[in-house]
Amino acid sequence: DIVMTQSPDSLAVSLGERATINCKSSQSVLYSSNSKNYLGWYQQKPGQPPKLLISWASTRESGVPDRFTGSGSGTDFTLTISNLQAEDVAVYYCQQYYNSPPMYTFGQGTKLEIK
């Protein structure tokens, strides 16, 4: 099974500063057939379902502020949140798709707080 490992487990960042969350996959999620990384990032606030922020490793979903940036390829990915706002306090998850057998695997989550 593919394992997704996020780091750190938690971090505290000052308002207006930058937060960086890493996600490492135990095997590549880059599909050579279409050169796409099957990796997404979600934000989950307490008592709410997750919200998809980034798909295909770096494509921001409609309505997501451009403070959120996804990068990386293959096995190593990063979610960067610039100019941190109070409303960004949440747990962030990465998620990959694998096709044989079909499996969708999440990282363990990174809890982001305000310092």
Question: Which CB atom, from 16 or from 101, has the smaller least distance to another protein?
Answer: 101
For 25-87, give the DSSP string. Answer: ESS--EETTTTEE-EEEEEE-TTS--EEEEETTTEEPTT--TTEEEEEETTEEEEEE-S--GG
73 forms part of the interface with another protein (CB under 8 A): no
Nearest to 36 by CA among 97, 90, 84, 104: 97
28 forms part of the interface with another protein (CB under 8 A): no
Minimum separation from the CB atom of position 109 to another protein (A):
5
72 forms part of the interface with another protein (CB under 8 A): no
33 forms part of the interface with another protein (CB under 8 A): no
Question: Which CB atom, from 16 or from 63, has the smaller least distance to another protein?
Answer: 63
* Residue 18, helix vs strand vs coil: coil
Question: Which CB atom, from 20 or from 108, has the smaller least distance to another protein?
Answer: 108
- In this structure, the number of other CB atoms found within 10 A of the CB of residue 16 comes to 9
109 forms part of the interface with another protein (CB under 8 A): yes
Minimum separation from the CB atom of position 53 to another protein (A):
10
